[in-house]
A and B are shown apart, each in its own frame.
Chain A
C-alpha cells in the first residue's frame, strides 16, 4: 500500500518542483508582497493576480502537533507525528516531524525542513527538530 501522494496541478507545480530541488517555496504576491500557502490563483490579501514563488529558509516553529498512534493506513507506520509548522516567513503548513516519536515535543520548538523521496516524482517536505 502506498502513502497518499499529492495530486499536483498547474498552480502547485512550482512548489513540488522546488521540493525535488531541495528547496521549500511559498507563493508571493508581486503587488503587495503577501506570502501564501497553499498556492492560489490570486492573492488573498490584495486580490492581485500577479504571483510568483520565493524560496524560504525552511525554518519554522511548531504551532501544534500530535502523535498518531493508529495510522490512517498500513502505509503509515504509527506512531508518527503530524504537525502544523509556522514558517519563519509567515505561512503555516501541515507536515510531519520525522526524527521524533513525539517524546519531548512542545509547541514553539524550532524545526527545519528536510525532504523525503515518496515516489519517483514526489519529494515530500517534512521537518526535523533543530
Chain B
C-alpha cells in the first residue's frame, strides 16, 4: 500500500468573518470562503479540478457540491459532499488526499460554511437537536445535544474522578486563546469560577462548557506536494491521517469513556512516523469540554483518566507543553455546525506558516495534531500536519 505521508499539502487557507454574520446566507458564505482561499493560494478558479463541501443546515441543498461548483462556474472532475457531522472536515481531508494521490484530481478546493446563528428557523433548530439519536430507542426520551455529551462527561467523572473544575479548565484555555485572536466570536476572558457558576445545561455541563452557535465559512486548497512548491504560500504538508469509527448512537458505544480517537490517532501517528510527544500543538474537537478531555487521553497526550488533571495543569494553554485550540476553538472562536473544525485546520496552517500575530504564535511550531469527531464521539479523524516533509 502506498502511503499518503507527505504526498499532499495545503497551499491556500482562509476563513470568512465568523460569529454573527446575518447579511449573507450559508451558500454565499461558502463561496466567499472559497474565493478567499483561492486568493490566499494565488490561483484562479479554473485551476481547481476537485471540489468537496458539506451540506448546510440553514440552506440545505440536496447535491451541495454540485451547486457550489455551478455557482462558481467551475467544472471539476472530482466533486462530492461529505457528511460525518463534526468529523466531516477532516475525513474530507483524507478523501481529498487520496484523490490527489491516485490522480483523480490535482488541486482540490474544500469549502464549508453554515449560518446556525442567523439562518435557522425554529423548526430547523428543533430538527437539528432531535435528529441525533436513534428514532425509536433514544429520541423519545428527549436527549438534547448537550445531554448526549453530558452522558460521556458523567461516565468519565464516575470512572476517573474528573471534576467540574477539570472540565472548566478547557473552556478557560480556549477563551484565553480567543482573547488573543481578533477574529474570535467570544473574547472576554473567563475563569474556572465563571464556568462552574454558569447556568447548568445538562450536568455536568454548564453553559460555558458548551460550544458556541455561529455563522461562518472556511476553505482550504489542497494539492500534491510537488505542485505545492509552485504556490505563493509556504506549504503545510499532511504527514499522517487516520480515521476511527465506533458507533452512531451513544447507547451503542463500546465505551463511554474511551473513543475511536485511539484508532484514528494510532493510524495517523503510524503514517507520520511520529508520536504524541512530537506534537508542538493540537487542535482538538471541543463541542463540549468532556470531548477534549477524552481526546487528550485517547490521542496519547496523557495517560487514560488523566485528561482532567492534565487540562487543569495549564499544559493546554499557549506557553504550556501542548497548547490546544490556539484560535479559541469552537468553545470561543466559532461553531457553525459541521464546518466547525475547519477553523482549527486553517488556524493550524497559519500557525505552521508562522504567520499569526507574535503574541499567539506557538514558538517553533513544526508539527501538529488536528483532530475532529462527529456524531456523539462516533466518527473520528486525526490529521498530522507539518511544515516540512522530513
Query: CA A76 – CA B154 in complex, angstroms?
Result: 22
CB within 8 Å of A: which of B152-196? 152-155, 158-159
Q: A69-B200, A96-B141 are in contact. Are A64 and B129 (CB under 8 A)?
A: no
B147 located at the interface, meaning its Cβ lies under 8 Å from any Cβ of chain A in the complex: yes
Q: Are A64 and B144 in contact (CB under 8 A)?
A: no
Q: Are B256 and A84 in contact (CB under 8 A)?
A: yes
| Shortest Cβ distance from residue B357 to the other chain A in the assembled complex, whole angstroms | 37
CB within 8 Å of B: which of A21-74? 37-38, 63-73
Q: A72-B129, A102-B203 are in contact. Are A124 and B140 (CB under 8 A)?
A: yes
Main secondary structure of the interface of A (DSSP, over half): loop
Q: Are A82 and B137 in contact (CB under 8 A)?
A: no
Query: CA A84 – CA B154 in complex, angstroms?
Result: 11
Interface centre among A7, A84, A124 (most CB of B within 10 A): A84
Which chain A residues lie closer than 8 Å to B200 at the CB level?
A: 67, 69
Q: Are A6 and B158 in contact (CB under 8 A)?
A: no
Cross-interface CB contact of A94 among B141, B150, B153, cutoff 8 Å: B141
Interface string of A63-106 (1 = CB under 8 A from B): 11111111111011000101110000000111110000010001
Which chain A residues lie closer than 8 Å to B202 at the CB level?
A: 66-70, 82
The interface size bin for chain A is 35 or more
Cross-interface CB contact of A107 among B140, B158, B252, cutoff 8 Å: B158
Q: Are B158 and A106 in contact (CB under 8 A)?
A: yes
Q: Are A94 and B137 in contact (CB under 8 A)?
A: yes
Q: Are A82 and B143 in contact (CB under 8 A)?
A: yes
Cross-interface CB contact of B201 among A5, A69, A83, cutoff 8 Å: A69
Interface residues of B (CB under 8 A from A): 126, 129-130, 134-144, 147, 150-155, 158-159, 199-205, 250-252, 256
Interface centre among A70, A76, A102 (most CB of B within 10 A): A70
Q: Are B250 and A6 in contact (CB under 8 A)?
A: no
Q: Closest chain B residue to A9 by CB distance?
A: B136
Q: Are B144 and A70 in contact (CB under 8 A)?
A: yes
Which chain A residues lie closer than 8 Å to B154 at the CB level?
A: 64-66, 107
Query: CA A66 – CA B250 in complex, angstroms?
Result: 13
CB within 8 Å of B: which of A104-120? 106-108, 118
Interface centre among B141, B143, B155, B159 (most CB of A within 10 A): B141
A20 located at the interface, meaning its Cβ lies under 8 Å from any Cβ of chain B in the complex: no
| Shortest Cβ distance from residue B282 to the other chain A in the assembled complex, whole angstroms | 26
| Shortest Cβ distance from residue B375 to the other chain A in the assembled complex, whole angstroms | 15
Which chain B residues lie closer than 8 Å to A106 at the CB level?
A: 158
Cross-interface CB contact of A6 among B137, B147, B201, cutoff 8 Å: B137
* Given A65-B154, A66-B202, A96-B142, 13 other A-B residues pairs in contact with their CB atoms under 8 A: A4-B140, A6-B135, A9-B136, A38-B136, A64-B158, A66-B147, A67-B202, A68-B143, A70-B202, A72-B129, A82-B147, A102-B203, A118-B140
